[in-house]
Amino acid sequence: MDYQNILFAVEDGIATITINRPKALNALNQATVSELKDVVEKVAADKAIKVVIITGAGAKSFVAGADIKEMASKNAAEGREWGQFGQNVFTEIENLPQPVIAAINGFALGGGCELSCACDIRYAAENAKFGQPEVGLGITPGFGGTQRLTRVVGRGHAKELIYTGGMIDAEKAKAIGLVNEVFPQEELMPAAVKLAKKIAKNAPIAVQLSKAAINRGINCDVVTGIAYEAEVFGLCFSTADQKEGMAAFCEKRKATFEGK
């Protein structure tokens, strides 16, 4: 598939997906979400990719939401279909085996905030602005915002953001746990890449099973989650990377992981 609305690059096992519609502040139209689905499925199948970074093109916006102009004339059935399509793609992002870092370089509104919440770790530039403005457009959040945002920041902050439709800046987003770190704009991508490289140095299967266990645990009771952790922990002992990691420790050298 040729991409018109996203950029995709892979370097040293780190994939960068850039939403690229700067004239519309990287708003997500159907074509863009379809391209996102295609690239995410490619990434999921590529064992050479260890970490993924998602960002937006230009200095002003990560993603300013779903494309309002394209959405304006939808009826109820079309609205539901569009919502489910976006939800499914964001769930594919959330379930990618590799960790996903959102590098939020400006507006992260509506579907943009929801996209960031489908990622594992959020880093923001100082100019980032977060919000769920949907109720001001006469709709609810529809790409998972009522669910994932609530799980990230807790129901009080999620409800304040969603009911008011207001925006918060990067510092406030950090204060409520929506982003991990805030950087000057020009330092955002280097910081995201540095984080990605740090993650990529570790045993890939162990990183991916950790992600799976955390994600599974968020959505089930702690007893089930703990039992799942025991399963993935045990599974690690069947990998060459576990042998290598522990041998390297005992031999006082650096481990070299092969993802096997």
Q: Is 56 in the site for ligand CO8 (CB under 6 A)?
A: no
Could you tell me the smallest distance in angstroms from the CB atom of residue 54 to ligand CO8? Answer: 16
Is 143 a binder of ligand CO8 (CB under 6 A)? Answer: yes
Active site residue 94: no
Of 37-45, 133-141, 200-208, 222-230, which segment contacts ligand CO8 by CB under 6 A?
A: 133-141
| Ramachandran assignment for 144, one of left (phi > 0), alpha (psi -120 to 50 degrees), beta (any other) | left
Sheet of 61-63, strand order: 61-63, 107-109, 129-131, 167-169
Give the Cα separation of 67 and 83 in Å (integer).
12
Beta bridge partners of 104: 124
User: Does position 69 bind ligand CO8 by CB under 6 A?
Assistant: yes
In Å, how far are 21, 101, 112, 206, 246 from 118, measured between CA atoms?
Answer: 20, 10, 10, 21, 33
Amino acid type, 90: F
Q: Say how far apart CA 203 and CA 255 lie, in whole Å.
A: 9
Is 134 catalytic? The answer is yes
| Catalytic residue chosen out of the listed positions 114, 171, 229, 231 | 114
Applying CB under 6 A, among 33, 39, 64, 152 the residue interacting with ligand CO8 is 64
Our measurement of the distance from residue 228's CA atom to the centroid of its chain's CA atoms, rounded to an integer in Å, reads 23
Q: Does residue number 206 form part of the binding site for ligand CO8 (CB under 6 A)?
A: no
| Residue 9: strand pairing partners | 16
- Residue 83 binds ligand CO8 (CB under 6 A): yes
Stretch that binds ligand CO8, among 132-140, 170-178, 212-220, 223-231 (CB under 6 A): 132-140
Q: Tell the smallest beta-carbon distance from residue 53 to ligand CO8 (Å).
A: 21
- Do residues 115 and 143 lie in contact, with contact meaning Cβ atoms separated by under 8 Å? yes
Angle (CA) 190 191 193, round 5°: 65
Binding residues for ligand CO8, rule CB under 6 A, total 23
By CB under 6 A, tell whether 82 contacts ligand CO8.
Answer: yes
**Starting from the edge strand earliest in sequence, which strands make up the sheet with 121-125, in order?**
6-11, 14-19, 51-56, 100-104, 121-125, 181-183
13 binds ligand CO8 (CB under 6 A): no
Residues from 87 through 126 that contact ligand CO8 (CB under 6 A)? 107, 109-111
Please identify which residue in 35, 120, 134, 241 interacts with ligand CO8, judged by CB under 6 A: 134
Question: Can residue 86 be called a binding residue for ligand CO8 (CB under 6 A)?
Answer: yes
Residues taking part in catalysis: 114, 134
Interface residues with ligand CO8 (CB under 6 A) are 24-25, 27, 64-69, 79, 82-83, 86, 107, 109-111, 133-134, 137, 141-143
